Amino acid sequence: MSSKVQTLGEFIIGNQSEFAYSTGELSRLINSIRLAAKVVNHEVNKAGLVDITGAVGDTNIQGEEQQKLDVYANEKFIQTLTNREIVCGIASEEEDDFITIKGHNKDHQNKYVVLIDPLDGSSNIDVNISVGTIFSIYRRITPEGTPVTLKDFLQPGRNQVAAGYIMYGTSTMMVYTTGHGVNGFTLNPAIGTYYLSHPNIKLAETGKIYSINEGNYIKFPQGVKNYLKYCQLEEEDRPYTSRYIGSLVADIHRNMLKGGIYIYPETSTAPNGKLRLLYECNPMAMIVEQAGGKASDGFTRILDIQPTELHQRVPFFCGSKKMVEKAEEFMQKEG
């Protein structure tokens, strides 16, 4: 690569040949996500100045109270992807069901479906903590020219052709993979351009950070409790440091750069965990694996799980490979 810093647009074009079906459609799709993210970023950054924070009074399909920015981000991503006519279907964490999209000829010729968490961690907006967008892209499996069906979205994570997240924090970053490593791009807000700032991100095999909501400790399975005790022991390379932001994108991003493990296990009150397989766990698992890490439900590789429903939840262990493997050891000992 030359000494000139690449823009995200230049990077997408320069690496288009890596895509399995290189027709330019996937490049345009990632560009559309970039555009929508810039619009959402603008609203997030002025959230404290206008009446866009707080709840709208409705709940989403998850039973969670919707924040105003949740609704705004959801609308902007769906609007951008629909208007550009580059996907045949969208599934959003904020929507009850998937959305079928026809092309300008009223056909269904597009190849890709997108699954998206438009604004992860939005409950933190009011206190100025980083939030993010998470996206996952699959090639449809039903015949082109027909409407998408549920099975286009219920694919195991290993079928993803791209995945990424945008973090709206002290700086705005887009981190994504198309299955050929992970790269991070930072937005220059003065000119509205993303620049390659973190090329070829590699996750350390082990780290010093564990991220989990320890307030739920009493509800955790015994294997998780045992692993946390292991993390806290005075040993040669421990105790580890506990760092938990409560915003998935921010917690994963920190561990991607510094090494560590993120855990959101099942609990006695949420036996399937809290995080959504399709909108959160699969895309994060693909990113982490492409950076050399590992993602598991404690027993099974996340990307090998066959989804059975659109808003399915699973336990999530994700991060540095050796740390996740150690956590799995503790889980498997307790069955």
User: Which residue numbers belong to the known binding site for Mg(2+)?
Assistant: 93, 117, 119-120, 280
Residues spanned by the domain of 301 = 209-333
- Residue 1 located in a structural domain: no
Residue 203 lies in a domain: no
Residues 191 and 225 in one domain: no
End-to-end CA distance of the chain: 49
Does the pTM surpass 0.95? The reply is no
The β-bridge partners of 59 are: 65
Check whether residue 152 and residue 288 sit in a common domain.
no
Do 177 and 243 belong together in one domain?
A: no
pLDDT-based confidence at 16, cuts 50/70/90? confident
One-letter amino acid for residue 324 of the chain:
V
Residues 56, 156, single domain; the answer is yes
What Å distances lie between residue 12 and 6, 21, 34, 181, 308, CA to CA? 10, 14, 11, 13, 33
Residues 6+ apart with CB under 8 A from 1: 199
Q: What is the pLDDT of residue 1?
A: 42
Tell me what percent of the residues of the chain surpass a pLDDT of 90.
65
What residues contact residue 157 under an 8 Å CB cut-off, 6+ apart?
Answer: 136, 277, 281, 282, 283, 285, 286, 302, 303, 304, 305
- Residues 286, 321 within the same domain: yes
Output the known binding site. 93, 117, 119-123, 213, 244, 274, 280
Residues 214 and 187 in one domain: no
Domain end among 150, 171, 198: 198
Residue 2, pLDDT score? 45
Out of 36-45, 128-137, 145-154, 209-218, which region has the weakest mean confidence (pLDDT)? Answer: 36-45
**Overall average pLDDT of the 301-327 stretch:** 98
- Number of domains making up the chain: 2
8 Å CB contact between 78 and 93: no
Compare 126 and 153 and report the one with higher pLDDT: 153
Q: Which residues are annotated as a binding site for substrate?
A: 120-123, 213, 244, 274
